[in-house]
Structures are given as C-alpha cells and as structure tokens.
Structure 1
Amino acid sequence: MTAQISTLGELLSAAGTQWRAYDIGRRITKLDKKQFAQIESTLTPYPYPLAGHALLAIQFWDNNATLDPYVWFLKFPLDEQSKLVAASRDHFANMVVEALGTEITGEQAQGKLDNNPYVFTPNANKLAAFNALLKREINRPASQYYEYAELYFAGNLPEDAWQNLAVQGLADFAFRLDHGKNAEHLNASWSSLPMPVKQPLSAMLEHVAGNTQFSELLYKDCITALKNKQLDVLICNLRALSASKAQGLLLQAVDQILADELANEADVLLTLTGRCWSAFSEQSRLFILLDKAAHNTQVDGLFTSIFADLVAIPSLRPHVLSILRAENRSETLSRAIGRLFS
C-alpha cells in the first residue's frame, strides 16, 4: 500500500467515492465511519466477530453516480482479542490498487476482484436482506418480487399463493414494514403463516427493529410455542424478536426459554447465542446458557463452539471469562470448561 493510503477508508476516499460499511456476519448493522476508522487502526476490537472473522459489506459509489452503488463483501481474520489483522487488510488493499488503481467504480472494475481471497459471497438470506436494505437506503424501488409479497400479506391472494413467494420479496417486505399497511398486515397474519414462509421471513426480520405491537405478539407466540413444545415455531419467533427495540420483551422471552426444557435443544442454544447475544451481558443468564450447553449431548463440541463464539464478542468477553473463576459451577460445566484447556 502506498504511504498515502493506509486504510480501506482512505482507499475509498482517494478513489473519489462516497461509502458506507456494514457488519454482515451477525445482524446487518451499519458501522459509522469513526467506529470503522478505530477498527481499522486496531484501536478497538471488531464489535460483531463471527467464527474469528469480520464479515463486512462495503457499499460505495462515485459522486456522479446514476447507477446503484457497488458492494464489496469482505472477510478479514481477527486476532484473539477480536482486533483486525491489519496485514490482511493491507494485502487486500494492495491487490485492489494493483488490479484497479483508484478507478474502483465503472465497467473496468467488473470481475477484477472475483478471485480475491478476502471477497466472499453471503448466503442467500443475507444477500436478499442486504439488497432490500440497500434499495431502501438509497431510495430505489424494491425488487420485482415485492408487490407479490405485499399482496400475499394483505390477504389478497389465494391460500396456496405462498408457494410463489420469492426470498427477495420477503426481504423487501420485511424492510418496508412502515410502507402502507404492511406492519398491520404482518401482525394479522404472522401467527398463522405456514412454516415455509415463516422461516425465511424470520431470517429477514432478525435484521429489522420491529414495532412494540409486533414484538409483543412475538413474545406471546414464543410462550405459546414453549407450552406446545413447537421447536421450529419457537426459533422463528425468537429470530424475529431478536432485533426488537423492545429489549425488555426479548429478555423476558430469553429467560422463559432458558427455564424450559426446550432450552436443552442445540438449535435453541445456537439461536440464543447467535441472535440474542446482547442478552448475555447479564451474568446469571450467561451462566444458565453455558450450563445448558455443557449438558447438551446432541452435538459434539457444542459447548466449545458457544463459548468461543461468546468470548470473542468484546462486550461479552469479560463476562464469559469471569465464568472461568465462578465457584458455584455444576460438575458438568466445570468439566466442559476444563476441556477447553486440555
């Protein structure tokens, strides 16, 4: 990298672009430029690590842009403190400069980073969700699939019409709940949606801060699913609730789930860890989660995976490490912790 360009932010600015950065590993979350600069300079750890990496979406456009922005999906390794491995970032930026110079927009840039080792393709749900978010943020129309989804949730299509819903249409609907009567229609239809609709829709809603009324519905449906022992329904409701602004309701739901036998299920534990991580800054709640994971025998290495995931999150790291010194651990949890260091 040149002496003048030492960060991705500087590279993007030197190329004359406007840009935004998002975490796309956990919940799609915008990173403000000051925060991103601190991450790049390794002054602060990456806030949302996933499997030892920062998964980023960099959206950029030139100042005279008439087309949709360009997007880089990038995957950079993090160190044991969840700080960016700057050498990898430097390597990527050097490759960009060598391939494109500072002409990173326009037709000449197309395809030139296809084999870059730091470029990755998010899964279909993440791609659809990010595309829906991007279209909304730059005031572009939703995809061609949105209108059909809107008609479906309004109850204006035949009962079996769900079979023709597209994932992108569900994403567009989820990110446009404040359009028309979309929120009202979702509230009215959510509890009776067929699972082939509810599951992909919940994967979109986990990136959307729903209103309080919808959050209350999701909480009630979580409790009903616990009573009826409906594992798949519970997980859908929990995913949809996880990004809610009504964090009190989410915490109540998490506590109810942890007190139920369904919390012994690996899929529930993984959903709690992966989507509701903010709930575990409370020590007693974290303790219960880790104890449940230690007792789980369904999935080999589940405790190790959950511990590694949570301890890497900077906001949770001190809480997770304090469990190592806790004296009132069950024998099973103590053994599980011991295996981490064997």
Structure 2
Amino acid sequence: MRTLSDFFNQSQADLAISSLGRRVAPISAETFAAFEREEQPWPLPWTGKAQFACAMRWPESGADPLIWFLALPLDEQGQLLPAPRDALLDRLLKTLETRPGVAGDNLMKDNPVAFEPELHQRAVLHARLSRRFEQPLGAQADLARRYLLGDDAINWQMLGLQGLANQVVGADAAIERALVDRLEQLPRDVILPLCYLLEHGDTPSSLVPGLQLMLDEARQQQDLERYCALLRALVGSDDASVGAWLDAWLEDDELMAADCLAAVAARGWQFLEHETRLIRYLERLATCEEANFRSVVRDLALIPRLRLPILMSLRQAPGDSAIGRRLGQLPDH
C-alpha cells in the first residue's frame, strides 16, 4: 500500500473526495490517484497546499460517513510533496495494526496534515455530502427553506448556517427564484453568510444581475465588508457575463481595495484565464500598495491553467511598468 488511493480502494468504502480552500468542489478518484502518482498537479491549490476532505461510508455499518480533513503541501509546480503523505499513510497502517477498523479520530488527533475547515466551507461540504450519501437534511434545512421562500413566521435569527447551506447547494428552482426576487430585501446578517456559501460555485446565472446592482449600492454606502461578500458570490458564478463585468471593474480606479483583489484571486480565478484580463488584473494588483503582490501571484501561479500565462506575463513586463516595479522590489525575484 503506497498511496491513500490504494487504501481507499482496499477499504471498499463508498468514497467522496472534495477540494477545500479555493472552492469546495468534488474531486474524482481518478484525478486524486493521478495527483498521488505525481502525474498531474492539484487542480485547486490553496496557500501552497492541496486541501481536501475524504468522506468514506461503509453501507453495511449504517453509520454516518467518516470524514478526514487533510492538507498536503505542494511543490512550486503544484505537484505533491510525497513525504507528508507517506508519513500519514505509515501512521494509518500502524493505527490499523493496533486497532483494526479504527481509522478516524485516533488517526487525525495531533496529525500534522490534518486541518479544520472554516465554518462556511464545512457547511457547504456537509450539504453536498448529505445529498451524495442520501442523508436527511434535518429541521434546519426546512426552516431555511421556509424563510427564503418568504414565510413571515420565520425570523432570520432562527436560521442556522447549515440550514442555509442545505438550500444554497440544492439547485432548487423555487429557492433560486426566491433569491432573485428577495435577496436585496434580506437583512445584512443573512446576505453575508449567503454570499460566503454561494461563492463556492453555487451562484446561479439568474442571480448575477441582482448581485451587480447590490454591489453598486454597497459601494455607495461604503460598506466594504458587504461589497467584498457580494463580489465573492458574483465571481463564484461561472457565468460568462461576469468576465465582462470584471473587465469594467478593473478599469475603475476607485474600487481597488486589497480585499477585493484578493477575493477575485481566491474565488474568481477562472475569469483570469483570459490573456488581457489577466495582465490587467496583475497591473491593478501591482498598483495596490496594501495588496501582498508576491503572495497572491505565487498562489495563482500554482493553478495549472494559470501557471504559464502568469510566468510569461511577469517575464514580459517592462521594467518601468507597475508589474516590473513590484518585481524589482521583491527579493529573489
């Protein structure tokens, strides 16, 4: 047994692997196995790591899935650094030798590659796994559904994050229509968590125009927290119209806050797979003094489809350009 994929195959568990970090998204067993064989980089790197959840369920046990949250370090090309994975596998095998059938909390306790996802990511993950493993959604989901559909008997303070997540990831036509009609009227304390849930790829195209209008309102009110949350939800959509919106956004001198630029890199990287938009983004990042240019660019360059375009953009940047000046300020550039 040389890889985690080997263990998963031998365990005969029903397996679901999900990326965590840049986006909560399913990862196929084939993609994960190729990553472990160092045949391809991790598709959605985050802060130099492959962060993911492995959910395993043995149908005959009747129990809830066992979930591991793991973060494996990557090299500069986004490929697996095998030593931490090998140490994890060795620990797993030793655990199973001493306590057969036990590979959960005991394995993850004080494990250097284990991590705790942030609350919104965990909520999105559990909502998706509930559907994947056909588990009941619970009373919180029903409460959130009734609220979003306009039930005046439900106060927003009664809502739980998991209940909202269960509705956001459900691709329910009635909920989508309700969000389109009611999002702008929802309390700020509901809009913010909704945006943080939507940003992982669950923003429907029908919601894009409304989010753009709400961004204008948040800007007028100078509410940066709300603005960034709405921006993250907007770029969490894969709708092509968002790219055109970003082109105009990148030309607006008054909108360039470091948090906003970081949000585009974190949740809207797919829109940077565009030659002129990528260069313009890098220029704006370079001119934002508060932005950590090196950190953001290094993290983006680990994304397989962005690595070569970013490297070429940096190499071809004139020395007197904003990008060239930023590079000149960096050690070991």
| Aligned: 1:43 with 2:39 | yes
How far residue 220 of structure 1 moved from its aligned partner, in angstroms, is 4.1
The C-alpha deviation readout for 1:34-81, integer Å capped at 9, x for no partner, is 211110000111111111111010111124242221111001110111
The C-alpha deviation readout for 1:192-216, integer Å capped at 9, x for no partner, is 2222111111111112434332233
Q: What residue number does 1:52 align with?
A: 48
| Matches for 1:268-287 after TM superposition, within 5 Å | 268-287=260-279
CA distance in 1 between counterparts of 2:307 and 2:201 reads 26
Aligned pair in 2 of structure 1 residues 321, 273: CA closer, same or farther (>3 Å)?
same
CA distance in 2 between counterparts of 1:320 and 1:264 reads 20
CA distance in 2 between counterparts of 1:239 and 1:329 reads 32
Alignment partner of 1:254 out of 241, 246, 253: 246
CA distance in 2 between counterparts of 1:271 and 1:102 reads 45
| Aligned: 1:303 with 2:299 | no
| Matches for 1:233-252 after TM superposition, within 5 Å | 233-246=226-239, 248-252=240-244
Task: Structure 2: give runs of 5+ residues left out of the alignment.
Answer: none
Alignment partner of 1:290 out of 282, 290, 293: 282
Aligned pair in 2 of structure 1 residues 335, 287: CA closer, same or farther (>3 Å)?
same
Task: Determine helix, strand or coil for the equivalent of 2:305.
Answer: coil
Alignment partner of 1:163 out of 157, 161, 175: 157
Task: Determine helix, strand or coil for the equivalent of 1:325.
Answer: helix
Q: What residue number does 1:28 align with?
A: 24
CA distance in 1 between counterparts of 2:2 and 2:105 reads 24
Q: What residue number does 2:73 align with?
A: 77
Query: Percent of aligned pairs with the same residue?
Result: 28
Task: Determine helix, strand or coil for the equivalent of 1:46.
Answer: coil
Alignment partner of 2:108 out of 110, 113, 121: 113
| TM-score, reference length from structure 1 | 0.89
CA distance in 2 between counterparts of 1:317 and 1:33 reads 24
Aligned pair in 2 of structure 1 residues 328, 134: CA closer, same or farther (>3 Å)?
same
How far residue 177 of structure 1 moved from its aligned partner, in angstroms, is 3.9
CA distance in 2 between counterparts of 1:329 and 1:252 reads 29
| TM-score, reference length from structure 2 | 0.91
Aligned pair in 2 of structure 1 residues 244, 331: CA closer, same or farther (>3 Å)?
closer
The C-alpha deviation readout for 1:161-201, integer Å capped at 9, x for no partner, is 2223211122112112416x222211111112222111111
| Aligned: 1:96 with 2:107 | no
The C-alpha deviation readout for 1:256-302, integer Å capped at 9, x for no partner, is 22122344101110101111001112122112212222221235xx1
Q: Is the 8 A contact 1:225 1:231 kept in 2?
A: yes
Aligned pair in 2 of structure 1 residues 128, 306: CA closer, same or farther (>3 Å)?
same
Considering only aligned residues, what root-mean-square deviation do their CA atoms show, in Å? Answer: 2.3
Task: Structure 1: give runs of 5+ residues left out of the alignment.
Answer: none
The C-alpha deviation readout for 1:220-252, integer Å capped at 9, x for no partner, is 444555566553343233222323242x12202
| Matches for 1:200-239 after TM superposition, within 5 Å | 200-223=193-216, 225=218, 230-239=223-232
- Amino acid paired to 1:309: D
| Aligned: 1:183 with 2:176 | yes
Task: Determine helix, strand or coil for the equivalent of 2:50.
Answer: strand
Aligned pair in 2 of structure 1 residues 224, 253: CA closer, same or farther (>3 Å)?
farther
The C-alpha deviation readout for 1:15-37, integer Å capped at 9, x for no partner, is 23221211111111111122111
CA distance in 2 between counterparts of 1:28 and 1:298 reads 28
